[in-house]
Structure 1
Amino acid sequence: MNLPLVSMLLTSALRWSASRYLLYAALLLTAGTFSACQTKGEPATAPTDAPKSELKPVPATTQELTISPAQYAAAGITTGGFTQQNMTTDVLANGVLDVPPQSQVSISAVMGGYVQQVKVLPGQFVAKGAVVAVLRHPDYLKLQQEYLQARARLTFLRQELARQQELDAEDVGAKRRLQQAQSEFATEQATERALAGQLHLLGLAPERLRATSLTPSVALTTPIGGYVKAVSINPGQFVNPQDVLVEVVDRTGLHLELKVFEKDIAQVHKGQRVLFKIPNSRLDRELEARVILVGQAFDNDARTVSVHAHLEQKSAFLLPGQYVAARIQTEGAREQTLPEEAVIQAGELSYIFAREGTARTGYRFRRYKVKTGSIQHGDVAIMPLETLPDTTQLVRRGAYFLQAEFTKGQQQE
């Protein structure tokens, strides 16, 4: 074989293989560079089968809303500023309506007897001195007889004493006879006065009593005017002196008797205003009273003190014994207030609305966070938690409509 020719062919083959290898390496390097560039940047064209995911951007939370002029008029919205009021701190107390002891009476019989007539019914008004019942018993006759006998004997003894005094003056009578006449007269006089007192207790007038006017019946009368609270007798019934026959209450002395807890009593003083209600009553408004007496002793069981308050207003629906829930207003402070209907309670937060201006499509409002305080006469103390301009027009009426629109708008978002 021709060796020079073989050597030339091998050299050519090696050169062609090296060039091919270099070309292949260059292609690989170019492809890697192109891939790296596409990873760092955006692809030139999106794949045709890639899923499309378009997310609507969520708007930032706002406290504003806009309503149309028609909505504004239909809701009856009114605006204004804060009202400055003296808001008080209340002490809560429970109690009853009561009357003083001198305004209620329990009528009993001085002497036992049989009920002949009952003149009154529970709930009836009776004037002072009116007859409530009539009793009958033979002992009433006997008492009148004894009084008339005592009165007749007293007349005789008075005359006998006068004779003995004349004899003693002429020094012709015995001293012993005069002394005896004086003793008997004094004894009989005491007896006559005691019997007259018993007749007075029975309601009989001893000075009018005659032998021809003895009566087996006596009338029971009421010493005060008022309403009959209870009647515990009926005709034919025998009653004893300790039995309560009729009870009468004078409501003109009606007042509150409240129970104030030990921790609150230091804040209560005479003259303070009291607002109270009768639960489950036809009275749907608070009535007023004024503290007139603060007790000076504790109830050891309940650890409360009795506080009495005089009613400022009278009502036919107020009756002794009714349960009351009261608020004693102890102190006041000047605070800015809004009507209760202007404040929206949303969980633990409270809000009010303010008119921000007039938009092209209607009226624009903004909601503000506030802290509420005490409530008095339908107004609530307000402490804003956000800055309010001095010229802010606060919504005093129609806040609930705005809150409904505000909530509706947020749900739509």
Structure 2
Amino acid sequence: MRNQLFIILAAVVLIFTACGKNKNSNNEEAGASDQLKLSREQIAHTNIAFGLPMEKNMSDEIPARGVVALPPDGQALVNSFSSGIVKRVFVHMGQKVSRGQVLAMLTGPELIMMQESYLKSVYTLEMLEKEYQRLQQLEGDNISSRKQIDQAKAAYLSEKAGAQSLRDRLRLQHINLEKLMSDGIQSEIPIISPIDGMINKINFSVGQILSPDQVLFEVLDLSRLVLKISVLERDIPHISVGQNVMFVASNLGDKPYPAKVVAIGGKVEETAKVVSVVLKPAEMPEKLLPGMFVAAMIRVDAHMAQCVPEASLIYDENNNSILFYTEDDPKKAAQVTFQHIKVEPGYRNNGFVEVRGLNQLPANANVVFDGGYYLYSELLKMRE
């Protein structure tokens, strides 16, 4: 009986031992099936690229659309402030001009009469001032009456106000008052550009009679261009002045240009539920013009993170993000062993993706930057 019991126990031990060996063998095979080995020649033939994870400034992106615009102080409408006839024009459409530059010359009876009135008023004012001072002196000698002095004072102050009014009107016409006093009446007056910029419109011809409210020139300062974009109401809490933005302008290709948020509107538009946000380009693209449509990506939640090129990540049949790597030196090893890990992708910017979980990698790991899908297809073949 004892012999039979001993035989049964021995058989049970042998069975469990065999099972343990089979289990270990299966684990080793499973572990080996997740590794892929390629020769240096195979790697060169398939153009597999390697690299190390890098730290980059990553962020989320909020899309928005808008137009290129000019602020009020970046554009000017030029008129003459009085009627006149265009005698000469010195600029053409598209020409760059400077603040204070003479754009055209005007002439006309009204302009000449205004100068004449000013000169007469100056001479009359000088005479009235002397008379007022003379009567004040006589009052001290008890010769003139108070009434005479008051009348002289009123006439002097009235003429002084008239002269000041004419002086201001002539200055608006850019007439040199010192030259007017020394050389006399000028037959032509200049039309001056109030800002630096370029001539965008010319609304008259030589010889044309102009009215005071007629716009003669439109001058645009394209160096002051801004982008006015519309941001959805729900995204406004994430927007702040100083944030970095990348934008693409219509008709200028797909090249993105940098900008910054400089102002945020204080009201939500009721119909579209958007808020206006103003951006200032960090560099001014050539041919960027007012009225062009732009698409912008506002960068929010900026932070430094470990990143790899987007081509490094591949997705398995369960849509898990996978990263291949090797601990071998691809340039020296005759045979390279590839392994892979599951990672969690984060923000994507400019062809790079933030990867969470890179702490799983060995310190000497070289990440596969390109060719991951080829490795994964070979791995699936090996598992079959």
TM range (shorter): 0.7 to 0.9
Of 64, 87, 95 in structure 1, the residue corresponding to residue 58 of structure 2 is: 87
Deviations 1:192-247 (A, max 9, x none): 11111111111112333149632332111112212223322222333322222212
> The residue matched to 1:381 in structure 2 has which SS?
strand
TM-score normalised by the chain length of structure 1: 0.72
TM-score normalised by the chain length of structure 2: 0.76
1:341 aligns with 2:314: no
Alignment match, 1:396: 369
Matches within 5 A, 1:76-155: 76-155=47-126
1:378 aligns with 2:356: no
1:293 aligns with 2:272: no
Alignment match, 1:191: 162
Alignment match, 2:190: 219
Kindly tell me the number of residue pairs found equivalent between the two proteins.
346
- Counterpart-to-counterpart distance in 2, 1:133 and 1:329: 47
Deviation at 1:68, TM superposition (A): 5.3
Q: Which amino acid aligns with 2:208?
A: Q
Q: 2:250·2:292 contact (CA, 8 Å) conserved in 1?
A: no
- Counterpart-to-counterpart distance in 2, 1:348 and 1:197: 80
Q: Which amino acid aligns with 2:184?
A: S
Distance 1:283 1:141, change over 3 A: farther
Identical counterparts, % of pairs:
30
Deviations 1:154-193 (A, max 9, x none): 1221222233223222222233222221111111111111
Distance 1:158 1:355, change over 3 A: same
Q: 2:64·2:230 contact (CA, 8 Å) conserved in 1?
A: yes
> The residue matched to 1:244 in structure 2 has which SS?
coil
Q: Which amino acid aligns with 2:60?
A: T
Alignment match, 2:146: 175
> The residue matched to 2:85 in structure 1 has which SS?
strand
Distance 1:295 1:167, change over 3 A: same
Q: 2:60·2:348 contact (CA, 8 Å) conserved in 1?
A: no
Matches within 5 A, 1:310-325: 310-325=280-295
Q: 2:327·2:364 contact (CA, 8 Å) conserved in 1?
A: no
Q: 2:106·2:188 contact (CA, 8 Å) conserved in 1?
A: yes
Alpha-carbon RMSD across the aligned residues, in angstroms, is 3.5
Distance 1:232 1:348, change over 3 A: farther
Q: 1:148·1:211 contact (CA, 8 Å) conserved in 2?
A: no
Alignment match, 1:10: none
- Counterpart-to-counterpart distance in 1, 2:83 and 2:318: 69
> The residue matched to 1:192 in structure 2 has which SS?
helix
The answer for unaligned runs of 5 or more in structure 2 is 1-29
Q: 1:258·1:306 contact (CA, 8 Å) conserved in 2?
A: yes
Deviation at 1:261, TM superposition (A): 1.0
The answer for unaligned runs of 5 or more in structure 1 is 1-59
> The residue matched to 2:93 in structure 1 has which SS?
coil
1:332 aligns with 2:302: yes
Q: Which amino acid aligns with 1:215?
A: Q
Deviations 1:258-308 (A, max 9, x none): 221101001111222222222331572x32222232222122232211222
